[in-house]
Amino acid sequence: SMLSTITSVGNPVIVGGPPTIDVFALAMKLGLKGLSKFGKKISHLLHGLIDKAGLNPRLARILKKTACIIFGEPVDAATGRVYHTNVDFELPGPIPVVWERTYYSDAAVDGPLGYNWHHSYNLGIRQLEEGAFAFRHADGRESFLPALKLGESHFDRREQLAWTLDDRGYMLTDIRGLQYRFDGPENRSGYRMVSGISTKDGFRIRFEYASGGRLAGIISSRGEFLKVETDESGRGLCVSVHQDGEEVKLVRYRYDDRGDMVETIDALDVSKHFVYSGGHLLVQLTNQGGMSFHWEYEGKGENARCVHTWGDGGVMEYFIRYGKGYTHIRNGENAETEYYYGEDKLIYKIVDANGGITRRQYNSFQELEVTVNPEGYTHKTSYNEFGQPVRITDENGEDTFLDYDGNRNLVSLYTPGGKRLSWDYDGLDRVVSRTTPGGETVKYAYEGGVLRTITDGQGRVYTLTFNDRYDLELLQFPNGLFRRWEYDGRGRLVQAVDVKGNVTRYAYDRADNLVRLEEPDGNVHRFEYDAMGNMVHASDNIREVRFTYGALGVLKSREQERHHITFGYNSELQLRRIGNEAGDNYFFELDGLGLVVTETGFDGMRREYERDGAGRVT
C-alpha cells in the first residue's frame, strides 16, 4: 500500500517517543539517534577510581556486549565468563517496559535477583569521595562519571551517555534520547536509585521504592502500575500487573538459603531451574522444556573461568583452554578456534576452524575501526568526536558517508552509488521530514506527543489517531477511507477493521501468544504452543499443521495432510538433513565454519562448493 511505502513499516512503532519510521531505524541500529546538545568538557578516564572507591572492579571492567565475542550458551571468549541474559516480560508503550535479567559468573555481587544476577531497572548512581560518581547500568555493569558544576555537562563516548547537572540535579541521557533522573532513595549498596525515565516530548516511566531502596512499583508510560514484591534483602519475588480486571503475575523468582536464584516462573506458571556451585557459579540451567545446559569451571568464585559447556545430548558442546593472551576452543564437531586479546580483553585476532585469520582493530573508545578478513579484504569505519560513524568503507572499497546536526541526529546518508537520503527534525529531535534518493519528501506532524499526520510527496495526507494509551486506533486515508484497531488492557490487538468494514479478531494466552484468529469470512485459526513458546499445532476450518522442536527451538518436523517433513542437525544445531514423507533425504556437508561444502539432493545429485577464506563461493 501507499502507506507502507511512505512509512516503510507495516505497523506504527512507538519506541522511545512518538511513532517513528522504520527507515529511520537505520540510525538507531548505528547508534545515531540524537541526544540533547551537550558540551565536551571533561574527558579524563575515571577507571583509576575503582580500587580507591572500594567498588566491584569486575562490574566496572566488563565490556559492553557489543564489544564482546561469545560462544556456546554463552561464554565470553576473552575472560571465560559465563554470561546469560533473558527478557522475562515486556509491556508496550511510548517507552516500553523491558524487564531483562543478566548474569555474570564473576560478578561477585549480591544483586537484586540473587548473587551475580541483575535486572534492567536496578539503575542508580553512587557518589564517591574522590568527587566522582559510579553509575550502575541496566545490564549490571558499572562505569564512572565526574562531578559537575551547575550547567556543566560531560559526554562518555565509550558508553554513549550524556551526563549533565541542572537545577533539578544530575541527569543521564542515553543513545536513544531517554533521560534518567536519580531522585530515588539510597539502596543498601549506597546507590541513589533511578526515579524516572523520560523522553523530551513528555513520556515517562516512574519508579516507587520501599525502605532501603527496594523497588516496589513501576508506573509505565501507558499509566499501568506494575507491583514489584521483594524480600527483606531487596531480592525480587514477583512482578504483577492488573489488566482487564485480572492480576497477571508476569514473573516470579525463588531463591535458596545462599541467596542464589534457583527458579523463575513465567505468566503461564512454567518454570526454569538453576543450579550453582558453592561460589555462586551457575553450573546448570534447565529450561521450560526440560532441557539442561551445563558449565564446568577452573578456579573458584570471581576468578573462575569456564572450561567446558554443553547441553543435554552433547548439544552446543565446547571445550575451552586458556593461554597467555589467547583462548582455544573446540566444539562438538571437533572444529577449533583461537581468540587473541590484549589487556583490555578486546579480541584483535581470530584463527578460525579453517585456518583463516581475521584481524580487528579498535580505538581507545573500544570502537571497532578496522576488520581484515581471511582473504585480506578490509572493512573500515571512521567516527566523529561523539563516536558516531561518519564514513564506512566496505570490503570493495566503496564508501558510505553520514552527517549529523548539532544534536547528533542523522541528517544525511550518502550511499556508495552517490544517492542521498536526508532527514529534518523539530526541537524535540523528532523526524519532521524525510527525503528519498529520488527527491520525494515525506513530512510528519505531531500532536500531543504522538504522530498525527503523514504527508507524502504528492501532498496526500494520512491522519493517525491514538487512544489514551498511545495505541493506534484509526488511520484515515487521503480519500476519506479508514482502518480501525482495538486493543485489550495489555495493549494487544484484539480487533482490526479494514476499509470495507471487514472485521478480524484476535485472542491471546497470558504469555501473549496468539491462540485464536477469526477472519471476516468466519474462518477461525487456532494455535497451540509448547512450554518454550514454540507453535506446535495450527489449524483452521480446512487444514491443520503440527510441528515438533529440538534443542533451543530448532524445527525437527512438520506434518500436514500426511506430508511429513523432518530436519536433522549436528551438535552445533546446524542443518544437516531434510527428510520427506517418501523416506528420501537431502544432505548437507559443512566445513568447520558451518558453511555448506556439499549438497546431496533427494535425487542423489551431488553438488560441491569451493569457498575462499572469507566463506564466499568461488
Looking at the structure, tell me whether residues 73 and 210 fall in a common domain: yes
Looking at the structure, tell me whether residues 439 and 493 fall in a common domain: yes
Query: Is 60 exceeded by the pLDDT of residue 90?
Result: yes
- Confidence class for position 61, pLDDT limits 50, 70, 90: low
List for the chain the helix, strand, coil content (%; round to 5): 5, 50, 45
Q: Nearest-5° angle of CA 232, CA 235, CA 240?
A: 105
Residue 520 lies in a domain: no
Last residue of a domain, one of 501, 534, 566: 501
pLDDT digits (tens, 9 = 90+) for 301-312: 888 999 999 999
Query: Is 50 exceeded by the pLDDT of residue 339?
Result: yes
Residue 57: per-residue pLDDT: 54
- Confidence class for position 477, pLDDT limits 50, 70, 90: very high
Q: Rounded to whole angstroms, how far apart are CA atoms 618 and 612? A: 6
- Confidence class for position 45, pLDDT limits 50, 70, 90: very low
Last residue of a domain, one of 501, 535, 554: 501
Query: Is 70 exceeded by the pLDDT of residue 28?
Result: no
- Confidence class for position 73, pLDDT limits 50, 70, 90: confident
pLDDT, averaged across the chain: 89
Residue 510 lies in a domain: no
Looking at the structure, tell me whether residues 24 and 74 fall in a common domain: no
Looking at the structure, tell me whether residues 264 and 198 fall in a common domain: yes
Q: Could you give the C-alpha distances from 277 to 111, 313, 360, in angstroms and in order? A: 17, 22, 36
Residue 305: per-residue pLDDT: 96
Supply the range of the domain harboring residue 260: 33-381
Looking at the structure, tell me whether residues 219 and 320 fall in a common domain: yes
Looking at the structure, tell me whether residues 244 and 145 fall in a common domain: yes
Query: Is 90 exceeded by the pLDDT of residue 30?
Result: no
pLDDT digits (tens, 9 = 90+) for 371-406: 999 999 999 999 999 999 999 999 999 999 999 999
Looking at the structure, tell me whether residues 159 and 16 fall in a common domain: no
Query: Is 70 exceeded by the pLDDT of residue 347?
Result: yes
Query: Is 50 exceeded by the pLDDT of residue 54?
Result: no
Looking at the structure, tell me whether residues 92 and 241 fall in a common domain: yes
Q: Could you tell me where the DSSP H helices lie in 13-160?
A: 25-29, 49-53, 57-61
Global pTM? 0.88
Give the closest residue to 258 by CA, choosing from 90, 117, 157, 451: 117
Residue 517 lies in a domain: no
Which string of b and e fits 463-492 if b means at least 16 CB within 10 Å? bbebeebbbbbebbbeeeeebbbebebbbe
Residue 340: per-residue pLDDT: 98
The residue ranking higher by pLDDT, 264 or 561, is 264
Give the mean model confidence (pLDDT) for residues 139-148: 94
pLDDT digits (tens, 9 = 90+) for 483-515: 999 999 999 999 999 999 999 999 999 999 999
Last residue of a domain, one of 348, 381, 414: 381
pLDDT digits (tens, 9 = 90+) for 456-474: 999 999 999 999 999 999 9
Looking at the structure, tell me whether residues 102 and 42 fall in a common domain: yes
Query: Is 60 exceeded by the pLDDT of residue 50?
Result: no
Looking at the structure, tell me whether residues 598 and 474 fall in a common domain: no
Give the closest residue to 419 by CA, choosing from 404, 403, 400: 400
- Confidence class for position 1, pLDDT limits 50, 70, 90: very low
CB 451 within 8 A of CB 443: no
Looking at the structure, tell me whether residues 312 and 405 fall in a common domain: no
All cell numbers assigned to 35: 541526544
Residue 245: per-residue pLDDT: 86
Residue 552 lies in a domain: yes
Residue 122: per-residue pLDDT: 97
| Number of folded domains that form the chain | 3
Residue 519 lies in a domain: no
Give the mean model confidence (pLDDT) for residues 248-260: 97
Q: Which segments of 139-260 are extended strands (E)? A: 142-146, 153-156, 161-166, 169-173, 179-181, 192-193, 196-198, 204-210, 214-219, 225-230, 236-243, 246-255
Q: Rounded to whole angstroms, how far apart are CA atoms 519 and 528? A: 18
Residue 527 lies in a domain: no
Residue 37: per-residue pLDDT: 26
Q: What percent of the chain has pLDDT over 70?
A: 90
The residue ranking higher by pLDDT, 272 or 16, is 272
Residue 10: per-residue pLDDT: 29
Query: Is 60 exceeded by the pLDDT of residue 335?
Result: yes
Residue 39 lies in a domain: yes
Give the mean model confidence (pLDDT) for residues 425-440: 96
Residue 518 lies in a domain: no
Give the mean model confidence (pLDDT) for residues 186-215: 96
Residue 603: per-residue pLDDT: 94
Query: Is 80 exceeded by the pLDDT of residue 96?
Result: yes
Looking at the structure, tell me whether residues 427 and 354 fall in a common domain: no
Give the mean model confidence (pLDDT) for residues 245-274: 96
- The region of weakest confidence among 56-60, 380-384, 441-445 is 56-60
Q: Rounded to whole angstroms, how far apart are CA atoms 375 and 327? A: 23
pLDDT digits (tens, 9 = 90+) for 541-599: 999 999 999 999 999 999 999 899 999 999 999 999 999 999 999 999 999 999 999 99
